[in-house]
């Protein structure tokens, strides 16, 4: 899908700002500038990243939430940006986006989440790891919870321009985001994208950030986690070599390692995950829309 920078409201409701400031009578006499929320997404699907820019004079957004879940709000280039993950299992239908502003006013918009048709594949049993399907799911949960504390961080924004792809040639997608993989009686959701690439291919940071993890995990293999600030993280898995250290700051395009097949991988590929507020989104769609 193309990501045009057009301020289209996700559902055809009137983009009418209902000020919920406390003393509306006096304020009605002055003519406050109603901040305009411009969505970069023409439509929002499960697995998407909601991206909206707020341009107004003087008044800026301080908080945004979707159904009460806090979203990221930060100054970006010439405006303020609201970024929120729409998870792969997000409820289909209308959601409530609430934005509060520096002058005490707030705006509510309805965001309609559409269904993504995720593919279902048979993963078989994880022979390479010598694990049963149940053990794989259990071990995956352990690795995921170890990551949870890292990706819950919300640090200062580390970048000032859009994201790039992690490979020079990222056109070969071996497994899409959100794919449901059956293994034994279990189902595992693929919360990243697998790019096909030969072993040793350079892997690049998709934007500036700080390395929060660079280690060998039984399932993820050699993996690097980059904190881009504002709760946005990128994870690079199954690397052959790691060329980054925890605590190191990296620039967009900097080499983090090389493509490999470490951990639970049947062949060389790069698994890229992007998490926002600890929720995984489709990395290619994120990179496409985050200009």
In our burial notation (b when 16+ CB lie closer than 10 A, e otherwise), range 120-143 reads eeebeebeeeebebeebbebbeeb
Please list every residue from 36 through 65 that binds Zn ion, using CB under 5 A.
none
Of the pair 71, 170, the CB lying nearest Zn ion is at: 170
Binding segment toward Zn ion, per CB under 5 A, in 52-60, 86-94, 192-200, 209-217: 192-200
Q: Are strands 209-217 and 249-250 parallel, antiparallel or unpaired?
A: antiparallel
In contact, 148 and 236? CB cutoff 8 Å: no
Binding segment toward Zn ion, per CB under 5 A, in 40-48, 85-93, 115-123, 193-201: 193-201
Of the pair 78, 127, the CB lying nearest Zn ion is at: 127
Binding segment toward Zn ion, per CB under 5 A, in 8-16, 113-121, 177-185, 267-275: 267-275
Instruction: Give the pair of three-digit tokens for residue 259.
Output: 């493509």
Binding segment toward Zn ion, per CB under 5 A, in 9-17, 22-30, 191-199, 224-232: 191-199
Nearest approach in angstroms of CB 156 to Zn ion is 30
Nearest approach in angstroms of CB 115 to Zn ion is 22
**Residue 213 binds to Zn ion (criterion: CB under 5 A):** no
* Cβ contacts of 45 within 8 Å, gap of 6 or more: 86, 113, 114, 115, 116
Of the pair 52, 193, the CB lying nearest Zn ion is at: 193
Residue 175 exposed, middle or buried by CB count within 10 Å (0-12, 13-18, 19+): middle
Nearest approach in angstroms of CB 175 to Zn ion is 6
Of the pair 84, 178, the CB lying nearest Zn ion is at: 178
Of the pair 94, 267, the CB lying nearest Zn ion is at: 267
Nearest approach in angstroms of CB 270 to Zn ion is 9
Nearest approach in angstroms of CB 271 to Zn ion is 3
Select from 194, 213, 217, 227 the one that contacts Zn ion (CB under 5 A). Answer: 194
Please list every residue from 67 through 126 that binds Zn ion, using CB under 5 A.
none
**Where does 144-183 show beta strands of DSSP type E?**
173-175, 180-183
Cα gap 239→269, rounded to integer Å: 8
Of the pair 95, 271, the CB lying nearest Zn ion is at: 271
Of the pair 53, 194, the CB lying nearest Zn ion is at: 194
The single-letter DSSP state of residue 260 is B
Of the pair 271, 275, the CB lying nearest Zn ion is at: 271
Q: How far is CA 147 from CA 47, 155, 215, 216, in A?
A: 19, 16, 12, 13
Residue 115 CB neighbour total at 10 angstroms:
10
| Residue nearest Zn ion, Cβ-based | 271
Select from 271, 280, 286, 289 the one that contacts Zn ion (CB under 5 A). Answer: 271
Q: Determine which helix (DSSP H) or strand (DSSP E) holds 146, and give its type and residue range.
A: helix 133-151
Q: Are strands 279-281 and 49-55 parallel, antiparallel or unpaired?
A: unpaired
User: Which residues lie near Zn ion (CB under 5 A)?
Assistant: 194, 271
């Amino acid at each position: 899908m193309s990501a045009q920078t057009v301020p289209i409201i996700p559902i055809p409701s009137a983009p009418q700002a209902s000020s919920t400031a406390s003393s509306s009578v006096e304020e009605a006499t002055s003519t406050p500038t109603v901040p305009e929320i411009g969505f970069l997404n023409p439509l929002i699907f499960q697995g998407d990243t909601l991206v909206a820019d707020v341009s107004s004079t003087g008044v800026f957004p301080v908080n945004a939430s979707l159904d009460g879940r806090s979203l990221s709000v930060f100054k970006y280039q010439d405006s303020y940006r609201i970024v929120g993950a729409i998870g792969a299992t997000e409820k289909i239908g209308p959601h409530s986006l609430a934005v509060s502003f520096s002058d005490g006013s707030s705006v509510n918009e309805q965001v309609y989440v559409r269904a993504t048709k995720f593919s279902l594949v048979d993963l078989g049993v994880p022979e390479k790891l010598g694990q049963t399907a149940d053990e794989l799911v259990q071990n995956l949960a352990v690795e995921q919870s170890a990551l949870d504390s890292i990706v819950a961080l919300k640090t200062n924004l580390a970048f000032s321009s859009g994201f790039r792809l992690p490979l020079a040639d990222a056109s070969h997608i071996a497994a899409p985001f959100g794919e449901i993989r059956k293994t034994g009686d279990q189902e595992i959701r693929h919360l990243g994208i697998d790019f096909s690439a030969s072993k040793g291919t350079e892997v690049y940071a998709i934007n500036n950030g700080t390395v929060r993890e660079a280690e060998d995990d039984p399932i993820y293999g050699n993996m690097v986690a980059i904190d881009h600030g504002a709760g946005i993280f990128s994870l690079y898995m199954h690397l052959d070599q790691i060329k980054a250290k925890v605590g190191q700051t990296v620039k967009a395009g900097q080499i983090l390692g090389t493509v490999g097949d470490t951990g639970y991988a049947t062949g060389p590929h790069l698994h890229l995950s992007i998490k926002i507020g600890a929720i995984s989104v489709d990395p290619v769609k994120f990179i496409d829309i985050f200009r």
